[in-house]
Amino acid sequence: MPKQGQPYRVIISGGGTGGHIYPAVAIANELRTVNPATEILFVGAQGRMEMTRVPEAGYKIVGLWISGLQRRLTLDNLSFPFKVISSVRASHKIIKEFKPDAVVGVGGYASGPLLYAATSKGIPALIQEQNSYAGITNKVLAKRVQKVCVAYPNMEAFFPADKLVLTGNPVRADIMNLAGKRQEALQHFGLSAEKKTILVIGGSLGARTINLSMAAGLESIAAAGYQLIWQTGKAFYPQAQELESKYKQQGIRAFDFIRQMDLAYAAADVVISRAGALSISELCLAGKPAVLVPSPNVAEDHQTKNAMALVQQQAAILVRDVEANEKLVPTALQLAKDEQEQQRLQQNIRKMARPNAASDIVTELLKLIK
């Protein structure tokens, strides 16, 4: 524990996708808001997205040699035990040198070895679970940490009830403050103020089904007089660029990755999105009418569970992945036309927002240190 007046030292570990990284950065930013002198070190997995995204957010990161277990027999699986041993050793070294007052795990490969090493040394630890279905790393770590901050109620099936705190998911602060940004947003994307805009986000790595559905429906979107901001992910981007050049005049804009998501939300009248936990938390705070297409390629179909939490409150529309090709674009166009339905969805989704998530998590963390 720091001496009186000394800044706290905190390690935040995890990553793999934007769904883990952005909450981690939001927690770090909140720690700095509480005390600008707080020293923060991130620990991620070598070669994963966090190794570039975290430095872009202004924080130092160290990478561990770690990856997940594949479901089929691969060379990676054979090296997995060696990676775990190597990463736990490296984590002990990082902890010895950095001397953290507390550690935070946000899920993803790297948080396992780091939090294992920290808790074996008696360092206070907290994990944050973004989804309505807990990830394997967090389920294993829950026995070792003092607090588990969750985004959904009824998580006792995965975690000890006495450790649970319902905080919601922390999101980037700029998304909470979209008022007055619409004009700037339309200019940023080179779009017209006369037309309605549909925003498509398939998650930080893109979503193949959504991309193929959008590609097939571009003509009907342009013909109906709507504009499009389309985040495709890296793999589909070359294809989307070709399509964009055909429809540039009609306001179709494709991006492999959108950094200024606040402007993307500010420009959007309707959003098409995967149902990852972070995307849903952002949609609630942005208060946008949404068509959700849950990814079927996730553990225990947790994105469908995330989406249903909104659909049951009449706060979003669901299109299943298998039906997307046929139904996604017509459903989005129908919603873009129906202003009454947009307002209803907006009112209901805003009720589900948890704007103080980062602050509530940091409060729990500081209690552990004190």
pLDDT value of position 56: 94
pLDDT value of position 65: 80
Residues of the chain above pLDDT 70, percent? 93
- Enumerate residues 6+ apart whose C-beta is below 8 A from 60: 40, 41, 42, 54
Mean pLDDT across the chain, nearest whole number? Answer: 90
Q: Are 103 and 149 within one domain? A: yes
Q: Are 163 and 182 within one domain? A: no
Q: Are 199 and 297 within one domain? A: yes
Q: Indicate whether 227 belongs to any domain.
A: yes
Average the pLDDT over each of 126-135, 287-296, 354-363 and give the range with the smallest value. Answer: 126-135
pLDDT value of position 4: 47
Of 319, 329, 271, the C-alpha closest to 294 is 319
Q: Are 273 and 360 within one domain? A: no
Helix (H, G, I), strand (E, B) or coil at 140: helix
Residue 259 marked in a binding site: no
Residue 303 marked in a binding site: yes
pLDDT value of position 71: 54
pTM for this model (two decimals):
0.82
Q: Are 188 and 271 within one domain? A: yes
- pLDDT tens sequence across 20-76: 898 999 999 999 999 999 999 999 988 888 999 999 999 999 988 877 655 556 666
Residue 61 marked in a binding site: no
Q: Indicate whether 113 belongs to any domain.
A: yes
Q: Are 43 and 98 in contact (CB under 8 A)?
A: no
Q: What does the pLDDT average to over 315-319?
A: 97
Residue 131 marked in a binding site: yes
- pLDDT tens sequence across 226-240: 999 999 998 999 999
Residue 197 marked in a binding site: no
Q: Are 161 and 190 within one domain? A: no
Q: Are 164 and 139 in contact (CB under 8 A)?
A: no
* CA distances to 26, 82, 95, 238, 327 from 45, in Å: 19, 15, 16, 27, 38
Q: Residue 85: is its pLDDT beyond 50?
A: yes
Pairwise CA distance, residues 105 & 16, whole Å: 12
Position 157: which residue type?
A
For 270, the domain range is: 174-350
Residue 252 marked in a binding site: no
Q: Are 181 and 37 within one domain? A: no
Q: Quick one: pLDDT band at residue 84, thresholds 50, 70, 90?
A: confident
Q: What does the pLDDT average to over 198-213?
A: 85
- pLDDT tens sequence across 95-119: 999 999 999 999 888 899 999 999 9
pLDDT value of position 195: 96
Residue 4 marked in a binding site: no
DSSP code string of 208-255: HHHHHHHHHHHHHHHHTT-EEEEE--TTTHHHHHHHHHHHGGGTEEEE
Can you give the CATH number for the domain in which 363 is found?
3.40.50.2000
Residue 19 marked in a binding site: yes
Strand 270-273: give its sheet, edge to edge.
Answer: 252-255, 227-231, 197-201, 270-273, 290-292, 317-318
Q: Indicate whether 2 belongs to any domain.
A: no
Q: Are 117 and 188 within one domain? A: no
Q: Are 185 and 235 within one domain? A: yes
Q: What does the pLDDT average to over 248-275?
A: 94
Q: Indicate whether 4 belongs to any domain.
A: no
Q: Are 14 and 84 within one domain? A: yes
pLDDT value of position 206: 63
Q: Are 258 and 333 within one domain? A: yes
Q: Are 290 and 164 within one domain? A: no
Q: Are 146 and 126 in contact (CB under 8 A)?
A: yes
Beta-sheet pairing, 9-13 with 102-105: parallel
Six token digits for residue 13: 């570990």
Q: Indicate whether 1 belongs to any domain.
A: no
Q: Indicate whether 78 belongs to any domain.
A: yes
Q: Residue 166: is its pLDDT beyond 90?
A: yes
pLDDT value of position 58: 95
Of 352, 357, 276, the C-alpha closest to 314 is 352
Q: What does the pLDDT average to over 217-233?
A: 95
Pairwise CA distance, residues 360 & 79, whole Å: 39
**Which carries the bigger pLDDT value, residue 47 or residue 332?**
332
Q: What does the pLDDT average to over 236-262?
A: 92
Number of domains comprising the chain: 2
